[in-house]
Amino acid sequence: MKFITALSALAGAAAVNAQMTEDYLDTRTGIKFQTFTHERTGVSFGISLPENPTGTEFIGQLTAPITTGWAGVSFNGGMVNNLLMTAWVHNNEFKHALRISDSYTSAVVYTTPGPVMTPLFTEGAINATHWSFTFLCTNCNEWEIQDGEYTNIVDLASDFGVMGMGVSESELPRSPADAGSSLNKHSSSTQYGVLLGNARSADFEELKMAGLNGAAAPVPSAPSSAVPAANKRRSRR
């Protein structure tokens, strides 16, 4: 589903499995996300946006069971020709990279200047059961296709988007110490709808700066919710 549009995805999602993000307040960082939880793998990805999105930055949070080999996200739904991010834990440290792929065969590190992924709130982000990788993504809404043919754009100012997830449930990357390691194919993948309009938060700037400065996250004023409820509907494998 390379050129899927938000509208057809919405219609398709409604007809097929209607996987969508939900509100999630992460009590560790204080950040309010629109989060999708993949039922089969237990991996979730949340996105948080500024109150008035400039269209160029967001905070993402990828959370996975500790047994996960690697997990990744497509910022535009499909795998091919879209900006991807991957993360896993090696020796108690996050290994993360932006990637791209021009086919369904592999995903190489994205090297064109522009998109930058900066880890936030890494302290205490790995425990005995899960890891949770939080990052600021700057200019991750626009990227060049490897052969330079055209640029894809995700409109972060719109109310709806489509993202995708690939998860290797147990097999590690081939060289886990190397963030750019070649990967085995995911054991599970899916696309889902993102309620971007509900991802906007007045606290975005404050929390972003707290994360960048390595400061402890402010205590959220609203009551915290539990772990995001797993989406009950079927996921594509």
Tell me 198's DSSP state. Answer: G
Q: Which of 183, 194, 196, 217 binds ligand HEM (CB under 6 A)?
A: 183
Candidate segments 20-28, 44-52, 162-170, 216-224, binder of ligand HEM by CB under 6 A: 162-170
Q: Please name the residue ranges forming H helices in the chain.
A: 6-16, 204-212
Q: Which of 64, 107, 120, 179 binds ligand HEM (CB under 6 A)?
A: 107
Binding mask 37-76 for ligand HEM (x = CB under 6 A): -----------------------------------xxx--
Establish if 3 lies at the interface with ligand HEM (CB under 6 A): no
Which amino acid appears at position 232 of this protein?
A: K
Binding mask 72-101 for ligand HEM (x = CB under 6 A): xxx---xxx---x-x------------x--
Q: Determine phi and psi for 81, rounding to 5 degrees.
A: 65, 20
Distance between CA atoms of residues 36 and 86, nearest Å: 16
Q: In DSSP terms, which residues pair with 75 in a beta bridge?
A: none
Which tokens sit at 155?
A: 């409109």
Closest residue to ligand HEM: CB criterion: 72
> Tokens 């081939």 map to which residue?
174
- Contact by Cβ (8 Å): 186, 168: yes
Establish if 162 lies at the interface with ligand HEM (CB under 6 A): no
Q: Which of 50, 161, 166, 173 binds ligand HEM (CB under 6 A)?
A: 166
Distance between CA atoms of residues 81 and 146, nearest Å: 8
Could you count the other beta carbons within 10 Å of the beta carbon of residue 232? 8
Establish if 185 lies at the interface with ligand HEM (CB under 6 A): yes
Residues lying near ligand HEM in the complex (CB under 6 A) are found at 1, 72-74, 78-80, 84, 86, 99, 104-107, 164-166, 183, 185-186, 189, 191
